Homo-oligomer: A and B are copies of this chain.
Amino acid sequence: MAQYQVTFLPDNIEITVEEGTNLLEAARNAGIELGSPCGGNGTCGKCAVRVTSGLYEAGNDFHLAEDSKTQGDTLSCTASVKGDLTVEIPEKSRMKKHKVVLSERQIKENSFLQQNGINPVGRKYHLMLTKPDLKDNMNDLDRVRKALRKEYGVTEATISLDGLRKLPEAIRLGNFEITITAIMVQGRCEIIGVEPGKMEKPVFGAAVDMGTTTVVVVLVDLDSGTILDQEGTYNKQATYGSDVISRIIYADENQDGLSTLKEAATDTVNELLKALLARNGLSAGDIISMVCGGNTVMTHLLLGVTPTYLRLEPYLPAAVTFPAVNAETLGIGIHPHAPVLTLPSVASYVGGDISAGVFAILPKNSDDLNLFIDIGTNGELVLGNSEWLVTCSCSAGPAFEGSGINCGMRAMDGAIDWIEIDPVNLEAGYRVINGGKPLGICGSGLIYSLSEMLEAGIIDRAGKIRLPAEVPGACRSRIRIGPEGAEYLLVPESESGTGRDIVITEGDIKNLLRAKGAIFAGIRTMLQQVQLDMSVISNVFIAGGFGKYINITDAVRIGLLPDLPEEKYEYVGNSCIQGAILGLLSLEALMEMDEIASKMTYLELSIGNQFMDEFISAVFIPHTDLSLFPSLQ
């Protein structure tokens, strides 16, 4: 087959591809990540590129924005190479580096760690061995075991083959003074490394939040429990689909789809690790354990286990507790014999990220009724106290992350995160994260937009946009009929950073209402299940990067969150990574998370009509039953 050169601008990266390769794939091969929430299916319209010279075959451009079309853009996922090409990548199509938003809570101030002390998955032990002679001719390994027992109270240590191979030389080089690296797996101590003499350098663990959209790695000093550094980026799997369902479909329908996604996950983690190691002057072998929290699908994909049956009734995961895997076996760039532990899931759509979050955040030994809400790409809810826990996943979809919303985007530079609409002229004031011209609207901006549009009379409680004919002439330029029907013009193209109008369409509003309705209906269904009233909830913990930006008043006003006093609400940030860090530092924490995952009662919302009834009532602003929102009356 013919081969052609494709040059990507402004990066000026040139690669050779076969005739017929699609441009999204070609860009990926060139190391350029384009936003592609639909997974390259031609339906999200986000991966526009501009071919400035050369022969290509355009495909279905139906979902490409009108202005993109007029500027000569084409959807990269549907266009294929037919000759040498020069392709420009518009800034708006590019995936952006993610800002990691970690909770301010100090891990070291965590009450569990304070009570239980640091007892990490892996550690170093400095040993002064007794010197042998003909009368004390105990073998090397038992000599090490004896010292471990005597100096540290560690009994029953085993050794990896690799460790055993290194042991004799290290002992003699160190003149019977050595430092060993040991991990605790399944209740037993395994020596995985030996070095001669006393090594002062500490050992490290990596805590991973394996999010559907974002992956965060935190480097933790296992000796002191100090957080050394952190790094986050987009999950490389995102180019194969923005949500877990589209990833499962990708895995099912593409040859080597599963291994492609597995590689994308490990590549993402490895890239972050590489950056962390380089920045801190460490080598891969210094990281001797990894604890990874993710939803059930992410965990399956990371381990290369098929998630197929998670998508088919009755929605079964292959497992909810996962084997500890050698880093080498999994292709993770840390100490080859370090264990990679994945936190236990509760069920198909309530994963290890939630077990981690609940452990890290919910008060222990308290009768308070707590509600834990994690709105990420999915929406998971947990209700309970220290005695019992109920959980559900309400498939809210990633609307609050900007997916399925015309001008939606994630909370990053350029995103509108606050909106105020003048009820007279319908013009909007807004705030852009880190200033500059706006590129789109993130989750919190979308919440404000709903509540402000309702307040200004642009939409009704069902989310319907008023007909332009019904508004005064001066405002007509803001409410109009666009290519997808009625829309509200938030930012005219002259002010926007994309050169296009930033609008909110009636379709966007429907998507947002469905997302917020699903979460509220989930909360209601759980409460009904345990026959408790919303008012008895003592605390509501809002987790996830998105949570940080939510304004509670507005979230209540649109009916996303229960109408409770604001002081009951607490933002807890990335609770998954907090749980993963605690797991790295404490074997007891890992056990507690196992306990939490196994004792949580999973509510399958698709059984019966209860959730659907609640959902239908909740797709209004704030709700069809206004008595649930007394403060709004």
A141 in contact with B188 given A132-B314, A168-B309, A305-B164 (CB within 8 Å): no
Q: In the complex, are the beta carbons of B134 and A323 less than 8 A apart?
A: no
Can you name the residue of chain B whose Cβ is closest to the Cβ of A140?
Answer: B318
CB contact under 8 A between A137 and B318, given known A168-B306, A169-B306, A305-B168: no
Among A133, A186, A323: residue with most chain B CB under 10 A: A323
Determine, out of A154-162, A453-461, A563-571, the stretch whose residues face the partner at the interface. Answer: A154-162
Q: What B residues does A306 contact at CB under 8 A?
A: 165, 168-169
Given known A305-B165, A306-B169, A323-B159, contact A314–B188 (CB-CB < 8 A): no
Interface membership of chain A positions 296-311, coded 1 if the CB is closer than 8 angstroms to chain B and 0 otherwise: 0000000111101100
A114-142 to B contact mask, C-beta < 8 Å, 1/0 = 00000000000000000011111111111
**A321 beta carbon closer than 8 Å to chain B:** yes
Q: Does A167 contact B (CB under 8 A)?
A: yes
Contacting pair A137 B347 (CB below 8 A):
yes
Docked complex: A580-633 residues within 8 A CB-CB of B: 604, 606-607
Contact A318 B134 (CB under 8 A): no
Is A470 among interface residues, defined by CB-CB distance under 8 A? no
Contact of A141 among B141, B167, B314, B319 (CB under 8 A): B319
Q: Which of A311-329 contact B (CB under 8 A)?
A: 313-323, 325, 329
Is the beta-carbon distance between B317 and A158 smaller than 8 angstroms?
A: no
Q: CB < 8 Å: which of B140, B167, B317, B607 contacts A140?
A: B317
Among candidates B139, B186, B348, B606, residue contacting A317 with C-beta atoms closer than 8 Å: B139
* Interface size counted on chain A using CB atoms at 8 A: 48
> Is the pair A138, B304 in contact by a Cβ cutoff of 8 Å?
no
What distance in Å separates the Cβ of A63 from its nearest Cβ neighbour in chain B? Answer: 33
Contact A316-B133, Cβ < 8 Å, known A308-B168, A309-B168: no
A172 at the interface (CB under 8 A from B): yes
- Return the CB mask of A158-183 against B: 1 if under 8 Å, else 0: 11110011011100100000000000
Question: Smallest CB–CB gap between A598 and chain B, Å?
Answer: 9
**Shortest Cβ gap from A179 to chain B (Å):** 17
State which of B164, B321, B604 has its C-beta within 8 Å of the C-beta of A137: B604
Does A165 lie within 8 Å of B133, measured CB to CB? no
Chain B residues, CB < 8 A from A309? 140, 168, 172
Give Cα distance in the complex from A137 to B303, angstroms. Answer: 21
Question: Nearest chain-B residue to A309 (Cβ)?
Answer: B168
B325 x A139 contact (CB < 8 A): no
Distance in angstroms from A346 CB to nearest chain B CB is 10
Interface residues of A in 210-241 (CB under 8 A from B): none
Return the CB mask of A479-505 against B: 1 if under 8 Å, else 0.
000000000000000000000000000
CB < 8 Å neighbour of A320 from B135, B139, B304? B139
B residues near A160, Cβ cutoff 8 Å: 323
Residue contact B314 to A161, C-beta cutoff 8 Å: no
Write the chain B residue with the least CB distance to A296: B139
**Separation in Å of the A420 CB from the closest CB of chain B?**
46
Most buried by B among A137, A188, A317: A137
User: Which residues on B sit within 8 Å (CB–CB) of A318?
Assistant: 139-141, 164, 167-168
**Which residues of B are found within 8 Å of A165, using beta-carbon distances?**
303-306
Interface residues of A (CB under 8 A from B): 132-142, 158-161, 164-165, 167-169, 172, 186, 188, 303-306, 308-309, 313-323, 325, 329-330, 347-348, 604, 606-607
A-B contact pairs, 23 of them (CB 8 A): A134-B314, A134-B315, A134-B606, A136-B314, A137-B315, A137-B316, A137-B604, A139-B320, A140-B316, A140-B318, A140-B319, A141-B320, A142-B319, A158-B323, A159-B323, A161-B304, A164-B322, A165-B305, A165-B306, A167-B305, A167-B319, A168-B316, A186-B186
Other than A137-B314, A141-B318, A159-B323, give 5 A-B pairs with Cβ distance below 8 A. A134-B606, A137-B604, A159-B319, A164-B305, A168-B316
What are the 6 closest A-B residue pairs judged by CB atoms, nearest first? Answer: A141-B319, A139-B317, A137-B314, A168-B318, A134-B314, A140-B318
